[in-house]
Amino acid sequence: MTNKGRRFFSGDTLEQAVMQAASHYQVDPDEVAYRKVEKRHGFLRVRRSVVIDVDPDNPRRDLGSEPFVSAPSPSATPESSGVTEAPEVADETAGLESEISEDEPKEIADPVASPEVSARSAEEGVPPPAERLPEAEGEMAEAAREATGALLEVADLELEVEVLQGDGQLEIELSGPGQQALIADRGSLLLAIQHLLPRTIRGLTGRSVPCRVDSGNFHKMQEESLERLAHKVAEEVKQEDKPRSLEPMNPAERRIIHLALAEDDGVVTESQGRGFFKRVAIRPARQRPKGFDHYNR
């Protein structure tokens, strides 16, 4: 497996890293074929304690094989070990930097609140919804509780599960000691659980149901933070008359940026790159690419 083809995932525990890989490749966590990367000599500069890599062409292990293969211990230099510098979450943006020419938008940092700030905001109390949703009942609700518990066990997170009945979907609220790990890295574990949950429910009941997983009003705070980011950068783009590019985001995050600026006649937005994570470019309206229809997701 070449460096270019590697995909890295990380977490505070091995289980959390595997959970993110399972979500990305849409396989069960115990089916992920991965190698645990040993962090030595300082060339893996990550804050999370466990890093794994997965071959995108073969993310699922063969039936009957061991669930985990250890990576060779890295030697003194990254070149001899063949291990590249790993990001904190799945690296779906490998190579994108080189694809952006000098005329393309300049990347700016993402000011989304840090895990510590997000957790503190949740603890200090965000105003609850005007009306509390009723507790969900029935077979699918019970399956959702069981499936969520199973995923939390795999992720090694200690959280209380509350299943509420939303409008056309189940609303899963998670709270407890593991909340900070859950919403770290822009909610990567929370989003992984949300992605895997319908699949797990289908495995229990033969049917699936739409689910939204939240913790401490994370989704609302994330949406507001991204909207502020969008408007701030849009004003800079109009003042400087130069395009800007945000750091790579998942589809839900990109959609918030696009919609936040949909009515701003001074700028246009466009998603750039390949894979699940893409950059959103914000350009002066006069630089609308030929054939560009409002925005591309």
Tens digit of each residue's pLDDT (9 = 90 or more) over 140-195: 999 999 999 999 998 889 999 999 999 889 999 999 988 988 988 888 899 999 99
Of residues 203 and 132, which shows the higher confidence score? Answer: 203
Q: Which amino acid is located at 4 in the chain?
A: K
Least confident residue range of 28-37, 145-154, 267-276:
28-37
Question: Does the pTM exceed 0.75?
Answer: no
Q: What is the pLDDT of residue 52?
A: 86
State the DSSP string of 138-202: SHHHHHHHHHHHHHHHHHT---EEEEEE-SSSEEEEEESTTHHHHHHHHHHHHHHHHHHHHHHHH
For the chain, the average pLDDT equals 75
C-alpha Rg value of the chain to the nearest Å: 20
Task: Report how far residue 13's alpha carbon sits from residue 237's, in angstroms, rounded to the nearest whole number.
Answer: 40
11 pLDDT band, cuts 50/70/90, is confident
Contact 43, 85 (CB under 8 A): yes
Hey, which residues does 282 pair with through a beta bridge? 244, 269
Q: Confidence band (pLDDT; 50, 70, 90) for 84? A: very low
Quick one: pLDDT band at residue 197, thresholds 50, 70, 90? very high
pLDDT score of 100 more than 90 = no
At residue 156, what are phi and psi to the nearest 5 degrees? 60, 45
CA gap 19, 156 in Å, rounded: 10
CA angle, 103 then 106 then 110, to 5°: 160
Average of pLDDT values for 272-288? 84
pLDDT-derived band at 120, boundaries 50, 70, 90: very low
Domain 98-113+234-287 coded CATH 3.10.620.30: no
Name the band, by pLDDT with cuts 50, 70 and 90, for residue 276: confident
Look at residue 244 in the predicted model and tell me its pLDDT: 94
Whether the CB-CB separation of 118 and 219 falls below 8 Å is answered with: no
Task: For residue 37, give the nearest of 1, 81, 5 by alpha carbon.
Answer: 81
- How far apart, in whole angstroms, are the C-alpha atoms of residue 273 and residue 256? 18
Task: Tell me which of 1.10.10.10, 3.90.1150.10, 3.30.300.20, 3.40.50.920 is the CATH number of domain 127-215.
Answer: 3.30.300.20
Supply the pLDDT for residue 293. Answer: 52
What pLDDT digit, counting tens, does each position of 218-248 carry?
999 999 999 999 999 999 999 999 999 999 8
- Residue 99 has a pLDDT of 33
Residue 55 or 146, more confident: 146
Per DSSP, the three-state class of 247 is coil
State the DSSP H helix or E strand holding residue 222, giving kind and residue range, or none if neither.
helix 218-240
For the cut 60, the answer to whether the pLDDT of residue 66 exceeds it is: no
In angstroms, the CA 106 to CA 245 distance is: 5
User: How many CB atoms are closer than 10 A to CB 256?
Assistant: 20
Q: What confidence tier does 76 reach under pLDDT thresholds 50, 70, 90?
A: very low
Given a cut of 50, whether residue 111 has pLDDT beyond it is no
Query: Is residue 193 within 8 Å of residue 170, measured between CB atoms?
Result: no
Annotated domain spans of the chain: 3-77+84-91, 98-113+234-287, 127-215
Residues ≥6 apart with Cβ < 8 Å to 231: 260, 261
Return d(Cα 93, Cα 47) in angstroms, integer: 19
Q: Are the CB atoms for 212 and 166 separated by under 8 Å?
A: yes
What is the percent of the chain with per-residue pLDDT over 90, rounded to a whole number? 39
Sheet holding 160-165, edge to edge: 160-165, 170-175, 211-214
